[in-house]
Amino acid sequence: MGKFSTKKMVLSGLFVALGLLLPFLTGQIPSIGKMLLPMHIPVLLCGFICGGPYGLIVGLIVPVLRSALFGMPVMFPGAVAMSFELAAYGLISGILYKRLPKKNVYIYAALVSAMIGGRIVWGVVSYILFGLNQTTFNWSMFAAGAFINAVPGIILQIILIPIILIALKRGNLISNE
């Protein structure tokens, strides 16, 4: 992985702070938060900007820390499963963005791949956690949680994240390498 850079650690701290604060824009209303997915945006951006390892760490931290500090999302199984999901988002977005050609279309490829990968991880972890709790996690729960209820947030991410990344690239604020 190489050594950690001070700049990337500071940026990762900023992304953790954004992950903690952005859900306040939804008014701490769980149904709106589940639709707009405000914690996902800074984690995905961290993966793209700082790299997969940083995105993974930020993704692991944000949901659990937010649950411990503010009680939302509920720690078990919500924040725990979400922690694995967001870690996958950060890792996958960072790895793919680094390895794919630096054309803007590949931002979308990395983003959509990370979103799908993270949702699969969330489904698997939720299935395991619900099983530990001796409750059922079925296909309709997965589809509703991962896709149907999340459509507004998915659209927001697909629009907002590439715009931010392209603007940062144009301003030479992130690397084009």
pLDDT digits (tens, 9 = 90+) for 120-134: 999 899 888 888 777
Whether the per-residue pLDDT at 31 is higher than 90: the answer is no
What is the average pLDDT score of the chain?
90
CATH of the domain at 103: 1.10.1760.20
Please report whether residue 141 resides in a domain: yes
Higher pLDDT, 88 or 175: 88
Number of residues in the chain: 177
132 within a domain of the structure (yes/no): yes
- For 15-27, the pLDDT digits (tens) are 999 999 999 988 6
Q: Which domain holds residue 74?
A: 9-170
Amino acid residing at 128 = I
Does 173 score more than 70 pLDDT?
yes
Confidence label for 63 from pLDDT (cuts 50, 70 and 90)? very high
Does residue 2 belong to any structural domain of this protein? no
Residue 117 domain-assigned (yes or no): yes
Q: Is 72 part of a structural domain of the chain?
A: yes
Q: Among residues 30, 33, 94, 100, which one has the least CA distance to residue 59? A: 94
pLDDT > 90: percent of the chain:
65
Alpha helices in 23-175 (DSSP H): 30-36, 40-50, 52-70, 80-99, 105-132, 139-143, 151-170
> Residue 38 in contact with residue 151, Cβ under 8 Å?
no
The mean per-residue pLDDT over the stretch 2-27 comes to 90
Within-domain flag for 50:
yes
What is the rounded CA–CA span in Å between residue 91 and residue 24?
25
- Asked whether residue 3 is assigned to any structural domain, the reply reads no
Check pLDDT > 80 for residue 44.
Answer: yes
Residue 61 lies in a domain: yes
Whether the predicted pLDDT of 2 surpasses 70: no
Does residue 1 have a pLDDT over 50? Answer: no
* pTM higher than 0.85: yes
Which residue did the predictor score with more confidence, 157 or 1?
A: 157
In the predicted model, what is the mean pLDDT of residues 129-155? 82
Would you state the structure tokens that stand for residue 151, as one six-digit string? Answer: 């459509």
- pLDDT value for 142: 81
Number of domains in the chain: 1
